[in-house]
Amino acid sequence: MNQRILRDFFLRDVLEVAPALLGKKIVRRFPDGTIKKYQITETEAYRGIEDRACHASKGRTPRTEVMFQQGGTVYVYFIYGQYWLLNFVTGEEGDASAVLIRGMEGFPGPGRLGRELQLDRSFYGEDLVTSGRMWIEEGERPVQIQSGSRIGIHYAGEPWVSNRWRFFINGQTVSARTPD
């Protein structure tokens, strides 16, 4: 039941992992020792260097470096001077794909969940399979999964802006803007 998700889960195509994460729980052990679990409600897939919306499409830089590691690695980045966004690397080493965690129960929105989880630079490169402060556990299987286009990537152009690579659980609060 409270079973940690292991490496194999993450070593698949990001388009399999992103919807499969819905309903699973992010488990966070905070610095004071308390442990909280949050059900994942919304995700987005970013699929390697060819995906113009994916940060890895800019190549290997200090920022994108961990995206090229094996699945199960955490990729966090700081944006708009305020928010740490949470991503899980997927696939084999070199695939450079990742899932953006866009919402979790009670905390819709990637910025808000990052704040709740008290993310910071130190999570860059964290391993979800071995970490003692953040990992993933099994959860409820979603009744229905919906999809839509990804948010905030207008610059990417076709087909990337139109690919329905955002996934969310039916009935859950989702990101602002029309859930086409």
The residue ranges that bind DNA (CB under 7 A) are 44, 46, 53-55, 58, 61-64, 77-83, 85, 87, 98, 100, 109-113, 150-153, 155, 175-176
Residues contacting residue 52 through CB under 8 Å, at least 6 positions apart: 155, 156, 157, 160
* Minimum distance, C-beta of residue 89 to DNA, in the bound complex (Å): 10
Is residue 19 classed as helix, strand or coil in its secondary structure? helix
How many CB atoms lie under 10 A from the CB of residue 153?
Answer: 18
* Minimum distance, C-beta of residue 161 to DNA, in the bound complex (Å): 11
Choice between 29 and 112, CB closer to DNA: 112
Angstrom distance (rounded) from CA 161 to CA 92:
25
* Minimum distance, C-beta of residue 2 to DNA, in the bound complex (Å): 27
Choice between 65 and 127, CB closer to DNA: 65
Angstrom distance (rounded) from CA 12 to CA 99:
12
Angstrom distance (rounded) from CA 13 to CA 11:
7
Choice between 138 and 179, CB closer to DNA: 179
* Minimum distance, C-beta of residue 3 to DNA, in the bound complex (Å): 26
